[in-house]
Amino acid sequence: MKKIVYYLKIMGVFAKYSLMSALEYRINFITGITVEMGWMLIKLLYVAIIYKAGTNIGILTPDHILLFVGIYLVLTGVYMLYSGNFSALPGMVQHGELDLYIVKPLSLQFLITMRRLDFAYLLPDLAAGIIMIVTGWRLAELPVGFLPIAGFLFYLLCGALLTYSLFLLPYLLSFWTVSVGGIADISNALWDFNNMPSLIYGKWFRRIGTYILPIFVITNFPGLFLMGELSPFACFWGAAAPLLFFALSRALWKFALKRYSSASS
């Protein structure tokens, strides 16, 4: 518990100095928010088209889809908060910049992946996502109470942890290869499968995206939990998959670090 509190304090320091750095160059900060809002409005066109059509997709009403897209936006904002650290990792490995961080009295993985936080991407997605979640929840007349809210927040946190673990893995290949751009682009493209509920896809594709490469667990399980569409095993998997892939990313990080050749060597 003391270690968790310690790292939360360090996270607060990272957030403070990242925000100070962003506000030092306010035009860049405002530009980042504007670009993210433009991207967000494009995603909202999907919802607008569905509402205009006014038809259900299986058990999904337009209100359900509004809820799912809201979850997608919230977790997109959370991922974009630190994803720049992932994309910077290959350059740090190639140029030996990692040497400067190895000697720090802190978890190297935590330091490298969380040292810079981009609030310009988080804020608009978080605000719009919360509004869409609350609106979709109310219009779809989904249950409200301690258990539904607690379960929803639990699977939302599980989705955030799974996002970190799953999308870090491609960048760890930079310890062995010169460029991971192609693999990273593919993994980022997979993220967009989450902008609509997984129920619109075929059965086998949905199973692959849930149990083999659990992309759909990230943004779908909070909404499916509210709708009562999660089987007991799916409820278990929604909690186990983030822990499993976090352990995998942690083990691969340690293994990759042993193969790292510093600039001095």
What pLDDT digit, counting tens, does each position of 129-163 carry? 999 999 999 999 999 989 999 999 999 999 999 99
This prediction's pTM: 0.89
pLDDT value at residue 265: 53
Tokens of 159: 């989705």
> What is the per-residue burial (b if ≥16 Cβ within 10 Å, else e) of 2-30?
eeeeeeeebeeebeeebeeebeeeeeebe
Give every CB contact of residue 84 below 8 A, 6+ residues apart in sequence.
116, 118
Interatomic CA distance for residues 70 and 132, integer angstroms: 5
Bridge partners (DSSP) of residue 57 are: 60
Q: How confident is the model at residue 35 (pLDDT cuts 50, 70, 90)?
A: confident
pLDDT digits (tens, 9 = 90+) for 205-263: 888 989 998 999 999 999 999 999 999 999 999 999 999 999 999 999 999 888 777 65
Does residue 113 contact residue 82 with C-beta atoms inside 8 Å?
A: yes
CB 89 within 8 Å of CB 171: yes
Q: Does residue 43 carry a pLDDT above 80? A: no
Instruction: Inform me whether the pLDDT recorded for 164 exceeds 90.
Output: yes
Burial class (CB in 10 A: 0-12, 13-18, 19+), 235: middle
Whether pLDDT at 264 is above 60: no
Considering only CA atoms, give the Rg of the chain.
Answer: 19
Please give the Cα distance from 146 to 222 (Å, whole number): 14
Structure tokens at 9: 């304090």
- Residues near 104 by Cβ (< 8 Å), separated by ≥ 6? 111
Q: What's the CA gap between 69 and 47, in Å, rounded?
A: 8
User: pLDDT-based confidence at 165, cuts 50/70/90?
Assistant: very high
| Residue reference for tokens 């799974």 | 162
3-state SS, residue 195: helix
3-state DSSP assignment of residue 180: coil
Whether residue 177 is predicted with pLDDT greater than 70 in this model: the reply is yes
